[in-house]
Amino acid sequence: MIVTNEESYLANVVKKITTQIKEIEATVDTNEQIYKEIKKYTVDYKNEIDKYEVYTHQQNLSFIDKRNTFETNRITKLSYLKATPYFSRIDFQFDEEEEAEKFYIGRYGFFDNYGQQLVYDWRAPISSLYYDFTLGSAQYESMGKIFTGNLQLKRQFVIKNGRINFFVDTNDSLNNDFLINELSKHTTKEMKTIIHTIQKEQNEAIRDTKTRNLVIQGVAGSGKTSIALHRIAYLLYQKRGEFAASDVLILSPNEIFSNYISTVLPELGEEDLFQLDITQLMQPLMEEPLVIADRQREITEIISNPQSKKVRSYLHKRSASFFWAMNEYFETVTKKLFNEDIVIEPSIHLKKQKIKTAFTGLQAVAIWQQIKELANCLAKELSGDQKKYETVIACELKERIGITQPLAEYEKFLDTQKEELIRKGNRIAYSDAFPYLFFKWKIEGLLVNHQFKHLVIDEMQDYSLLQFFLLDNLFPCQKTICGDVSQNLLTEDPDFLAQIQSIIPNSHVITFNTSYRSSYEIMTYAKRFISNQDLQPVERHGKAVIEMQVMNDDDKWAQLYKQITTFQHPSSTYATCGIICQTETEMVVIEQILADIPLTCLSKETKTMAEGVIITTPQFAKGLEFDQVILPDIKAHQLTKKSNLLYTSCSRALHELILLVTR
């Protein structure tokens, strides 16, 4: 009986969706015909119609264009709903009501032509009951009001092509078998939505509209990037009319990752978000003709040659100690403004305490503006030619601090740190670019960007304290920041999260320690390489991790070929095999050895994810996932040490992990 009722409801919903699709398609066809007729009329009678009629026709054409775009988007959403109208049902009995009401929850909401809501958007207030409560007493908030009652049923569906393949009733936020089934699926070239598997703690982060700056620390596979994107989708839904996709910027680590996540928002019915990496964002602020050198090349150098003098300089310049030293440097510089009296004329003295008091009340950040405001403030208290006094005071203050321009001052600071500016022609090192921008901001000032209302910073562990400081001051908007401190491939900083909170005010850190991506065996193995022992793999069991001992290169190549051949066999169900090399040098060698095998190399030149055999390094694999992962260049001694590189590499695997190990 239950099956019959559910199939009947589904059939009714699909029928009404189909009807709406046909009606909208007919409207689009009619609009297109009217559009053609107006265009033809304006051409046929172009010499006879006046400018007012031309304007009217242009307005009509514009309206039809916009209308058809809107209707086409509706058809796209309805076509998805026709195949999969919803994924869950809840029965909720409101307090003081005699019967429970049924609510079906899907990717989008759906009303029939009589205004009856048959499906509720997963972001609707009522839908939070599905994610947040077990059966029994429950409540949700809508329009500032709390609605209480009793949650009597939670039912989960697998619906494909308008047919119910499976459904289950559960008391939990998500039935365990249902979750394991979803997690057991194979990889795709694009990140998918997680609306039907969102956990309670994830839902709390997604629906958090009160926290200004949300910092998500999540272990590998915890869904932190998905949570960040779904949070944006939720905000766009809740603040429709005052907040649009064009108001959001994502800072992404590379183009591969940007493309990998680019389908999530469109799948949720929202426009894709604007994505940049931090060099693209900050380059317009650089002084002509300075250009920021390639970020990825510098990261590769750090990973490949961590002990070289050049790399030690890179790491020093991105360190917290370097950032605080810059702050102290400017504190010393500004103290020169009031370290002694100013004598304008024999009879006019400005005491240093008076100068210090006036300086304390200044609002400006940049030194040049501070001097201008300070000179103006001090001159106003003098009788006589105040314009003349203001000029004299400003000249005296500028001479005291001895600053000419930001780059020269930065190089003076580098001398105090026993460092040098790394520059080749007009190309300045990535690690020097942001300290230089800090000096430029402190001396000349930089334009604050108010265009964006929300900034998403992914892979937060890749950014320095200085970069967070600049991002917060130059983009003073709401932020969602996510990453995993254990996936920092460059440095290890146990105080990283606390430092972010000290730099970015009104921030709140939430931690996700459950990993959903990889099998239990893979994540238990990966866990040995990091200090965070709070990581908890989900109980989805699979193949044991294989440490395959290889005696020499010939043995390694033979085993690598064997594994790839197995992956490519028609009986294999895997879509992706990731060969993750620990260094770029090893990747180049293996790519040459495997020249006869069709494969995709993921590097800084790559723009999109692919299926099949993929070769890359942890630097570009980070954030991605593969059905099978092979680590071909592991030394036996590496397996006994902590290693963020190995943790990151291992945790890319969903179902199978193989390490080729040499002594």
**Residue pLDDT, tens place only, 179-192:** 767 666 777 777 88
By mean pLDDT, which of 48-62, 224-238, 423-437, 549-563 is the weakest?
Answer: 48-62
Confidence of residue 251 (pLDDT cuts 50, 70, 90): very high
- How much is the average pLDDT of 493-509? 92
Confidence of residue 61 (pLDDT cuts 50, 70, 90): confident
Helical packing angle, 386-401 and 367-379, nearest 10°: 140
pLDDT over 70 (residue 174): no
> In whole angstroms, what is the distance from residue 609 CA to residue 189 CA?
5
Per the rule left: phi > 0, alpha: psi between -120 and 50, beta: everything else, 90 is: beta
Rounded to two decimals, what is the model's pTM?
0.90
> In whole angstroms, what is the distance from residue 301 CA to residue 303 CA?
6
- How much is the average pLDDT of 284-302? 92
pLDDT over 70 (residue 566): yes
Give CA angle at 590 (589, 591), nearest 5°. Answer: 90
pLDDT over 70, % of the chain: 98
- Quick check: 601 and 587 in contact, CB under 8 A? yes
pLDDT over 90 (residue 511): yes
- How much is the average pLDDT of 336-341? 88
Residue reference for tokens 């958090």: 208
Size of the chain in residues: 663
Kindly report the average pLDDT of the chain as a whole number. 91
pLDDT over 80 (residue 173): no
Name 397's Cβ contacts closer than 8 Å, sequence gap at least 6. Answer: 337, 342, 371, 374, 375
- How much is the average pLDDT of 95-103? 94
pLDDT over 80 (residue 50): no
- Quick check: 651 and 526 in contact, CB under 8 A? yes
Structure tokens at 214: 């949300």
Structure tokens at 399: 């001479």
Q: Which of the two residues, 152 and 493, has the higher pLDDT score?
A: 152
In 3D, which of 396, 391, 402, 395 has the Cα closest to residue 333? 402
Q: Which of the two residues, 285 and 345, has the higher pLDDT score?
A: 285
> In whole angstroms, what is the distance from residue 205 CA to residue 128 CA?
12
Confidence of residue 365 (pLDDT cuts 50, 70, 90): confident
- Quick check: 244 and 233 in contact, CB under 8 A? no
Residue 175 is predicted with a pLDDT of 60
Residue 1 is predicted with a pLDDT of 66
DSSP string, 236-264: HHHTTTT--GGGEEEE-S-HHHHHHHTTH
- Mark 510-525 as b/e (b = at least 16 C-beta within 10 Å): bebebbbbbbebbbeb
Name 247's Cβ contacts closer than 8 Å, sequence gap at least 6. Answer: 451, 452, 453, 454
Confidence of residue 607 (pLDDT cuts 50, 70, 90): confident
Confidence of residue 263 (pLDDT cuts 50, 70, 90): confident
> In whole angstroms, what is the distance from residue 31 CA to residue 68 CA?
7
> In whole angstroms, what is the distance from residue 87 CA to residue 103 CA?
11
- How much is the average pLDDT of 165-174? 80
Residue 183 is predicted with a pLDDT of 67
Confidence of residue 271 (pLDDT cuts 50, 70, 90): confident
